[in-house]
Structures are given as structure tokens and as C-alpha cells.
Amino acid sequence: MENFKVKDLMIPVKEYSRIKKSTTVSQAMLKLVKEGTDKHLPHPHRDLLVEDETGKIIGKVTILDIFSHMEPAYFKVLEKNPKAFLDKSYVQKVFKDFNLWSEPLKNLCRNISKVKIEDIMYTPDQNEFISEEDNLDKPLHAYITGVHQPILVQKDGEVTGVLRLGDVFEKVRDSILSCEIATTDKIKE
């Protein structure tokens, strides 16, 4: 795997789903459905790159961004105790105390459908970008340490692509299987 660079696995920006920051969530979802159908991708995009009026990539919107903004009380939860959030007893207490997901899903969907993407998009910090020339160890480390996915790829300060966890996993899986096959072949000899 050390021979692979990020640029070998990234999806170029021009091939990725992109929207303007003034797009509504509902319009963005329609775009994802249309592009997933039109392009017949083996793994349709579930994330969107957000661009400003000039076409420059300024952020992204992911599945989790949409889910968390459907139930805005999560932001209050994370303000109170962001580190304990994954503790099971804390999660159960928070779910009850903040009355999370108490509204019917239909209402939550209606509430978010007209929200502008710029209000829910994630803007990565400069240290969250990776270079096209990085080896796969850097994005693997980023995924494990919790960087907001997918990872945006840059060259000369411009976003040039998107690296999805699933695509990296497929490369790792193939590497593991090729190691297993090589080891099995050696044992047979």
C-alpha cells in the first residue's frame, strides 16, 4: 500500500457532486438522487462539495451534517460535555434529558428541507486537508483520529479531489487479501 498516493484513489472535484452554498437541503438531496441515477456509479456520492459564487470549494455537507442539523439539540449536548458523549449511560441520559428525536421524522424532514446548505455545511480547518502526494498512511490516521469525512484533497492550495473512507477501505481490503494469498502460496511451496 505504501506505493499508493492519495491522488490514485481520490475522486477528482470535477467528477464529484457539487452545490452552491445557497442551495436548500431539499434541492441538494434531489441533486444527489439525480446524479446517482444518471452516472450509474458503483458507490453513489452521499456527500456534497459546497462552492462559493466563484466555484471555489469552501466546504462539504455529509450525511452526519444533515442528521445532526435535523435534531439541533445535539449542539446543546455537545456544548455541555463533548468528551463523554459516547459513554453509553451518558448517551441514554442525554437522549431523555434533551428529548432528542421526539418530533416525528416527517416534521424534522420538513424543517430541514428549506434550510440553506451554508447553514449546515462543514468548513474544514487547514490541517484537515491532505495533499495529492501523501501516502495512504496520512488519511488512514486522519480517519482513525476522527477527521470529518470525506477528506478533501489539495494541490497548490486548491481542492482537487475527495477521498472517501469506503474507497480507502477497498484498497486496504485488497492489500490484506493479496498478502493472505501470497502467504498461502508460500506455505503451499
**Polymer length of the chain:** 189
- The domain locations on the chain are 6-188
What's the pLDDT at 181?
67
CA dist 54 and 51 (Å) reads 7
Q: pTM, whole model, 2 decimals?
A: 0.75
pLDDT per residue as tens digits for the range 58-87: 999 998 889 888 887 777 766 766 555 556
CA dist 101 and 99 (Å) reads 7
CA dist 78 and 138 (Å) reads 27
- Looking at domain 6-188, its CATH class is alpha beta
- For 70-106, letters b (16+ CB in 10 Å) and e give bbebbeebeeeeeeeeeeeeeeeebeeeeebeeeeee
The 3-state DSSP class for residue 189 equals coil
